Chains A and B, each alone.
Chain A
Amino acid sequence: MSRFPELLLGGIAALLLASSSVSAADVAAGEKAFGRCKACHAVGEGASNRVGPHLNELIGREAGTVDGYSYSAAMTQAGEGGLVWDEASLKDFLANPKGLVKGTKMAFAGLKKDKDVENVIAYLATFSAEAEKKADGEPKQEEPEKKAEAAPAGQAPEPTATASAASPAQEPGAGAHFKLGREATEAEVAAWDIDVRPDGLGLPEGRGTVAQGQELYDENCASCHGDFGEAIGRWPVLAGGQGTLTDERPEKTVGSYWPYLSTVYDYVRRAMPFGNARSLSDDDVYALTAYILYLNDVVDDEDFELSKDNFASIKLSNEDNFIDDDRDSEPHYARDIEPCMTDCIPGKAEIKMHAAVLDVTPENAGDDDAPAGGID
């Protein structure tokens, strides 16, 4: 359950008892609630900045001051204006981030339950010397290696310098022509070759239901993709948009645009949750994929279970709308046409549209401007 050794929990309990204001808070429950924050924030030994800044030594920190993290202007200004993270300010912020710091880039809408807020603060306090000092607690133990950093169950860890040094079973000089390289081991190939094709090649053993997926989604995905896949800010929309592809503003989602379900499994498994890739088990990914199908009304039963066995039978509705590159059939593609050089268009050129009207060039645009277009 907890990744803390008993000893440490005891120490923290003592710490919390000594601190009257958080005495009712529960560090273990806070760690669990922090699961929703982990997609973007790291805390503990070696924690670095991810989508959000690391949260070590948070208590007593001036807002917007972690080295190397690119804050919103609003957060930097809040810190310069005197905002310091303590129990009171964190309570306000975690309950309603944009309420306290309008313009923060933290997409998370806030923890709805006061209890969760208190518990998360208690949990974060265990990583802050300032809070410990106040509580006169025992020195903090070194945090054991995070579960998230280990490879998902059933998969070999990625080879590192030490791993490869320990497995040079193959002779160098294995290549066919220049005798370069060495043969890859099965474990090495298994560790990296996790791609999945539409025909099901590469799917691992496993299964997961819509209901299981919902729980995982709320914890790992909703902070960016929204509770229903509608997305927060400009993070990708996952659900809806069916029937909009010929509209002026098409909504391209898994349900409306993606041709293959295998792409969802493959991508979630290799790159999600953003900021903590490769942390989900194969079963977790089946469950999340099932839930994304549910959000898109491809399945409507919360008990629906997606597995290696039934995966290839699921088809997405837009598959047939993809065509191969036929740009060379376009009229302007014709080769070796000598283009017109003189008097090519009658009349004087008249301006039809100014970029200045839209005024979205960075030097001119405000932060809230979000016109059409994108890089996808």
Chain B
Amino acid sequence: MDDLKAAATAATRRGFLKTGLLGGAALAGSLASGRAMAEGDPVITEIQDWNRYPGDGVDARPYGQPSQFESHVVRKNVPWLTSDTISSINFTPLHELEGIITPNGLCFERHHAGIAEIDPANHRLMINGLVDKPLVFTMADLKRFPRENRVYFLECAANTGMEWRGSQLNGCQYTHGMIHCVMYTGVRLKHILEEAGVKAAGSWVLAEGADASAMTRSIPMEKALDDCMVAFAMNGEALRPEQGYPIRLVVPGWEGNMWVKWLRRLEVGDQPWQQREETSKYTDLLANGKARRFTWKMDVKSVITSPSPQVPIVHGKGRTLVSGLAWSGSGTIKRVDVSIDGGRNWHAARIDGPSLPMALHRFYYEFDWDGSEIFLQSRAIDESGFVQPTKDQLRAVRGENSIYHNNGIQTWHVNKDGGVENVEIS
């Protein structure tokens, strides 16, 4: 777009663009068919400033930032959802991202009492309860344990939660942006538990944060000893404050609320604690008034990130690239199918890049768009054989008040102009 803007400026200056800005497609068309054919594209035929004058030196940006032309690629919140940003959520701009790794500054945020700013010199991790010896670790202690690197997605249980009653939000940032995927560096939780010595009766671990909500969740010992981590780095650098600096819990494949940030305490017990976030919240109310609890695992899911409402098709008919993400709390993604006719016919998409368990997978599907209205859908199948369901299948068994764990198939309607809208279809 910015290239087009630059071209527009140049063109206007020369009086070639008579009708003003008619939108990207019209502008591109006028360039191609009008003056540009005769004289050439001014960004090519004229010497540009950046081609003539040197730019900033090496220390101008000691911590590099994205290009000024990418300033629209930011996390955004939905103000009506919550009373105050201190206890709220914002969304990863999935529609602008590529590959499987989320940049640290764009990972969605969910805080229950704002961002705790903790000096690592003043941070401790305590382990107590049904252990042989209650222990306190400093950050320096934690960094002496065996270390590992793992790529995992983190998805909030409420991701897509606003869509249970039907299409609400126009943009995959809002419908699916409570997810990110980074490489964590840290210590196996198992090592920390074993250092304190778990007693035979210890079957649950309570994880607690140091923030002003003192977030707590009960985690079954089997999972704690399996693949959970205490992470201190993401994508090669220290955790961001909003992601739990200096340490957070990593609970692969399970709902994001359990990944306690600013982790300060682990308690071993013989039953769950029934904390606020596992009783009044993060329980799934069914149509019959019963509510499921301890629905930890995130089910197989996918979404087309482009085209999507925030990134419509602007090139007109012809070669079109569909890009999307798929993931499952059960492991790797085996296959993703894409439909352009609202689920009548499906085509196997191409998964590209690493395929790691409980991590985002990137898929592509390329086709020649004939310019007619289409209904884009994607459907993921994981290595365990679970198939992403339709929203109607989910509603048929759960009703519309579950809030959490909506992994239904998303439909984007593309109109003849390339505009994209979030819809539900027959």
Contact = CB atoms under 8 A, between A and B. Distances in A.
A335 B421 CA distance: 32
A332 B194 contact: no
A331 B294 CA distance: 20
B387 A332 contact: yes
A172 to B, nearest CB: 8
Contact of B274 (A189, A262, A342, A351): A262
B375 A349 contact: yes
B135 A182 contact: yes
Interface in A323-341: 323-327, 330-333, 335-337, 339-341
Contacts of B98: none
B59 interface: no
Given A182-B135, A360-B168, A332 B393 contact: yes
B196 interface: yes
B79 A189 contact: no
Nearest to A329: B397
7 contacts: A192-B128, A193-B128, A245-B285, A254-B280, A277-B213, A341-B346, A344-B346
Contacts of B161: 373-376
B245 interface: no
Contacts of A183: 133-136
A248 B285 CA distance: 12
Nearest to A262: B274
B344 interface: yes
Contacts of A324: 292-294
B213 A355 contact: no
A184 B425 CA distance: 59
B370 interface: no
A374 B404 CA distance: 10
Contact of A340 (B126, B196, B346): B346
B196 A197 contact: no
Given A352-B426, A362-B77, A327 B292 contact: yes
Interface in A39-63: 50-51
A177 B191 CA distance: 8
Interface in A348-375: 348-356, 358, 360-362, 364-365, 367, 369-375
- Size range of the interface on A? 35 or more
Given A362-B174, A373-B168, A335 B344 contact: no
B113 interface: yes
Residue of A248, A262, A361 contacting most chain B CB atoms (<10 Å): A361
A116 B167 CA distance: 48
Contact of B195 (A180, A326, A354, A364): A180
A178 B133 contact: no
A188 B385 contact: no
A177 B161 CA distance: 44
B162 interface: yes
A257 interface: yes
| A interface secondary structure, majority | loop
A99 interface: no
A235 B112 CA distance: 12
B287 interface: yes
B425 A180 contact: no
Interface in B43-85: 76-85
Contacts of B145: 178, 180
B134 A184 contact: yes
Interface stretch (B13-21, B29-37, B335-343, B355-363): B335-343
Interface stretch (B99-107, B225-233, B234-242, B263-271): B263-271
Interface string B401-415: 101110000010100
Contact of A370 (B80, B194, B390): B80
A277 B134 contact: no
A361 B170 contact: yes
Interface string A226-266: 00000001110000000001101010101001111011001
A269 to B, nearest CB: 9
A323 B291 contact: yes
Residue of A350, A360, A362 contacting most chain B CB atoms (<10 Å): A362
Nearest to B425: A349
A267 interface: yes
Interface in B279-311: 279-283, 285, 287-297, 299, 309
Interface string A172-188: 10111110111110001
Contacts of A350: 425-426
A147 B162 CA distance: 42
B133 A176 contact: yes
Contact of B86 (A51, A178, A189, A193): A51
Nearest to B386: A335
B194 A177 contact: yes
Contacts of A252: 280, 285
B76 A178 contact: no
B185 interface: no
B113 A271 contact: yes
A139 B244 CA distance: 41
Contacts of B214: 270-271, 277
A254 to B, nearest CB: 8
Contacts of A326: 292
Contact of B426 (A105, A275, A349): A349
A161 B327 CA distance: 42
Contact of A332 (B77, B171, B394): B394
Given A246-B288, A354-B423, A373-B164, 11 more contacts: A181-B141, A189-B126, A197-B271, A252-B285, A254-B280, A260-B274, A344-B344, A344-B345, A345-B342, A352-B426, A372-B165
Contacts of A257: 280, 285, 291
B128 A181 contact: no
B121 interface: yes
A252 B288 CA distance: 14
A333 B292 CA distance: 16
A372 B77 CA distance: 16
B381 A180 contact: no
Contacts of B166: 352-353, 358
B422 interface: yes
A375 B375 CA distance: 27
A333 B119 CA distance: 45
A266 B273 contact: yes
Given A234-B81, A325-B295, A335-B384, A263 B275 contact: yes
B89 interface: yes
A204 interface: no
Contacts of A107: 83
Interface in A134-193: 159-161, 164, 172, 174-178, 180-184, 188-189, 192-193
A178 B135 CA distance: 13
Nearest to A333: B386
A364 B196 CA distance: 53
A321 B290 contact: yes
